[in-house]
Chains A and B, each alone.
Chain A
Amino acid sequence: ETGVTQTPRHLVMGMTNKKSLKCEQHLGHNAMYWYKQSAKKPLELMFVYNFKEQTENNSVPSRFSPECPNSSHLFLHLHTLQPEDSALYLCASSQAMDTGNTEAFFGQGTRLTVV
């Protein structure tokens, strides 16, 4: 148990479906992240939220839509995805400071398959 919980753990969705991934952290951190992990590729940073405000969007397609209602919860809304979007989606949190961030704690991830 890392203090970061993601649901669901596995998700299969069609290209016309709309679904949401949920992440919750119980560590009192002020920064939350979405990462995408595909086979044989680096962990790709998608979005960063700092005190509920989005501070980074790494050129992610609009079919991925993040939402951060408070510092403890983070969502990733999915719609009209493509098969190449199939991957492990990891949520993380950390305590961000002016001098740099502390270590990030990761959730177990959601294994997404787009059919």
Chain B
Amino acid sequence: GQNIDQPTEMTATEGAIVQINCTYQTSGFNGLFWYQQHAGEAPTFLSYNVLDGLEEKGRFSSFLSRSKGYSYLLLKELQMKDSASYLCAASRGANNLFFGTGTRLTVIP
């Protein structure tokens, strides 16, 4: 089976840095995706980690440790528009993508 855990809700202040953690357990693991989903909208791709380490893309960075089954998404210089749900998803096999429940991030002034 597979299991993905991430916090349900987080709150952070505009301009600050926030880290959203994700732990996973799945057989045939290929890589770890992060998606952003605003209320009422489709999830949109943020990052994909296959190898251990940190991938940086502008204000967003994602980290993966395959041996620990752990990933995090780091958001810097938070903006109000970053308020959304952030979905962690493990890729398994050729084309299976399993999602966590998502972390609802609220950015406050």
Contacts and interface: CB of A to CB of B under 8 A. Distances in A.
Interface of A: 2, 4, 31, 33, 35, 40-45, 48, 50, 55-56, 90, 92, 94, 96-109
Contacts of B87: 43
A42 B95 contact: no
Interface string B22-50: 00000000110100000001111100101
B94 A50 contact: yes
A106 B94 contact: no
27 contacts: A2-B42, A31-B95, A33-B95, A35-B99, A41-B101, A42-B4, A42-B99, A43-B43, A43-B89, A45-B97, A48-B95, A50-B94, A50-B95, A55-B95, A90-B43, A98-B94, A100-B93, A101-B91, A101-B95, A101-B96, A101-B97, A103-B48, A104-B33, A104-B97, A106-B43, A107-B42, A108-B41
